Amino acid sequence: MLKSRVILAMDKPLSYQVLKEMENELYGIKVGLPLVLDLGVDKTRELLIGLDVEEIIVDFKLADIGYIMKSIVERLSFANSFIAHSFIGVKGSLDELKRYLDANSKNLYLVAVMSHEGWSTLFADYIKNVIREISPKGIVVGGTKLDHITQYRRDFEKMTIVSPGMGSQGGSYGDAVCAGADYEIIGRSIYNAGNPLTALRTINKIIEDKVMK
Ligand code: 3DU
Residue 61 falls in the annotated catalytic set? yes
What is the rounded CA–CA span in Å between residue 38 and residue 12? 8
User: Which residue, among 116, 172, 106, has the nearest Cα to 136 in the 3D structure?
Assistant: 106
At 213, the pLDDT band (50, 70, 90 cuts) reads: confident
Q: Does this complex have an ipTM over 0.90? A: yes
pLDDT value of position 182? 98
Residue 148: Cβ-neighbour burial (10 angstroms; 0-12, 13-18, 19+): buried
Give the nearest ligand 1 atom to 119 CA. Answer: 19
What residue owns the CA closest to ligand 1's atom 15?
A: 164
Mean pLDDT along residues 141-148: 98
The yes-or-no verdict on residue 2 having pLDDT over 90 is: no
The yes-or-no verdict on residue 1 having pLDDT over 90 is: no
Of 12, 20, 61, 98, the active-site residue reads: 61
pLDDT value of position 83? 99
Angle between helix 66-74 and helix 95-103 axes, rounded to 10 deg: 30
User: Which residue, among 56, 102, 114, has the nearest Cα to 82 in the 3D structure?
Assistant: 56
Query: How many angstroms does the Cα of residue 31 sit away from the middle of ligand 1?
Result: 11
Query: How many angstroms does the Cα of residue 2 sit away from the middle of ligand 1?
Result: 22
What is the rounded CA–CA span in Å between residue 76 and residue 95? 19
- Ligand 1 site residues (CB inside 6 A) read 9, 11, 32, 59, 114-115, 140, 142, 164-165, 167-169, 185-188
What residue owns the CA closest to ligand 1's atom 21?
A: 164
Burial track 83-100 (b if 16+ CB lie within 10 A, e otherwise): bbbbebeeeebbebbbeb
pLDDT value of position 163? 98
Strand runs (DSSP E) across the chain, as ranges? Answer: 6-10, 28-32, 55-62, 81-85, 107-113, 138-141, 160-164, 183-186
